Structure 1
C-alpha cells in the first residue's frame, strides 16, 4: 500500500488573491501550479495549511469532520502570517465542492479522504523579507488514505528534549510548514541515536508537543495536557478527544505539565500517554527517553483508555455514534 498522503486525486480546487479580491474557485490538475521563482513563499515561508478528513457512512453519505474548526484555524494562521485574509465561506465551498466532485473515491471506514487546504504567498518580490505578500494562492488537495493502523497497534518511543523547542514560541499555534521543517533535524537525530519515533519538545522542562502531534497524559480517569497558548498547535483532534473524555465522565486538566511530573506519573501502573492528530487520531506512547534512561509508561503497551477514546471518536466520524456536538458537515 502507498505511504499515507502520497496518492492524490487528479484535480484540486484553487483560487488566487490579486491584491484586492479572490478569484472564483476552479478545478485544475493537481500537478499544475505555476509560481514565479521569486514568489514570497519560496523565500520567506509565507505558507500555512490544514488537515481534515471526509468519511463514508454506511448509508453512502459523505461527512466532513470538524470543517468549521479547521477553517477557523486556517484563517487564524493566515492572519498571523500576514497573508491575505481568506474568505471562510468561500474556503468551505471549495472544500465541499472538491470532496463532492470525488465523492465516489472516498474510501470505506477505516479509510477516509484526507483534505489539505493550503495558502501560500505568491508575490514575486525577493526584497520583501520584512513585508508580507500582497498576492496569494489557496488550493485544496485530496488524498484517499487507508487505515493508519493497518500494521497493527504499536506504541511509540519519545525522546524528551528540554534544550530546544519545536519552533519559535510565538509561531507555535500557526500551522505552517516552517514549524515542521524546524523539528526535522532533532527528530532525525533522535531516531539515529536513541531509536526514538518522535521528539517530545519540553523547553525548560515544560511538556509541550512532538514534531507533528499534541501530547496527552492519561492517569486513571484524568487527562492532562498543556493549556492552550501561542507556543504550540491548537489541535482539532486534541480538542475533540478532550470533549469526548468529558462526555465519558473523565476529568480534563489543561495546565502546565513538567518533565518531572510526567516521569513520576508515567511510572504508575495503569498510566497511559498518547499523541493526538488527524492522521492517527490517538497513538499510544509506550516509552519515554530522558537523559539516556528509558521509562516505561504504565506497562509499556497500548493503553485501554487511549483505545476507548479513539474508538469513541472514530464511531462519530464513521456515523456509528450520535454526532451530538454537530461535528459533521454533509456534502
Structure 2
C-alpha cells in the first residue's frame, strides 16, 4: 500500500471525530447552559415597590438588565419596540407582568417564574402577553426550526456555484436567484401554510432570502478565494457554529457569553432576529440584523466577483502560452 492512501486513511480517522466533537460542543454545550444573562427587563410603577423589586432582581448576579419606565404604557411600548423582553408593572392591585411570547416563548416562561417567585406573599401576579406568538406556532417551534434549512440552502447554493465552476457575474446572479426563490418558497410555507409568522408577506420573504444570500455568498466567496476547501470552512462557520449560536430557539441573552453575541454577528443569528422583527414587531429593531446580513452578502458577492477575475486569466494562460502547431511538430 502506498504512502498517500495511508495518509488519507489517517486523515479520515482523525478528522471525523474532531468534526463530531466540535458539533456536539456547539449544539449541546449552549443548550445545557441556558440561563438569563443581562436579559432586558422593564419595571414600571411606584418607586418604593419598584425599587424593592429591582434590588431583588439585581441580586441574581447579572441575570437581568433592568430598564425603568414611568408607567405600563411606556413599558408596553418598549416591549413592542424590542427594547425589553417583558416588564413588571407595579399597580395598587399588585404586580402585573407583561411578556412577549413572540420574542421568545422560553423567555416569557422564565419571566413568569422569576416574577412569581419574588411576588409578595398573598399577592397574585397578573400575566398579560403583550405580543403573543401566533396561534399557528404558539411555542415558536416552527420558527426555531426554520433557520437550519435556510443555512443548509445557503451552503448548498454556494457549493453548487463552486462545483459548477460559475464565475463572476454568473455566480453572483445564480446566488441572488436562488436566494430570491428560497425566500418566496419559505414565506409561502411558514406564513401562508403554517401560519408560524404573521407579518408583511413580502418583507418576510425578503428577510428569508437575504439570510440565504448572506450564507450562500459567503460560502461561494470563500471557495473563490481559497479554493474548494472554502466550502467546508463556510459550512463549518454557518451550520456547525452559526446555527446553534443563533439563539433562535431561546434568546441570545440566554446563551453563554460571548456565544450569544457572536451568534448575532453571523448570518443565521442575524437572520433569525430579522425574521422575528418583521414577522411580529412591524420591523422594530430590525436595522442591526439587516445591516449584518447585508455586509455578509456584500462581502461574499465581492469575493465571488474578485475571485472570478483572478482565475479567468490563470485558466487562459496555458492556451496563450501553448506552442504553435508547426513548432510542436
Q: Name whichever structure is richer in strand by fraction.
A: 1
Decide: shared fold, TM above 0.5: no
Q: Shorter-chain-normalised TM-score: which range?
A: under 0.3
Q: Which has the larger radius of gyration?
A: 2
Give the TM-score taking structure 1 as reference length: 0.23
Q: Name whichever structure is richer in helix by fraction.
A: 2
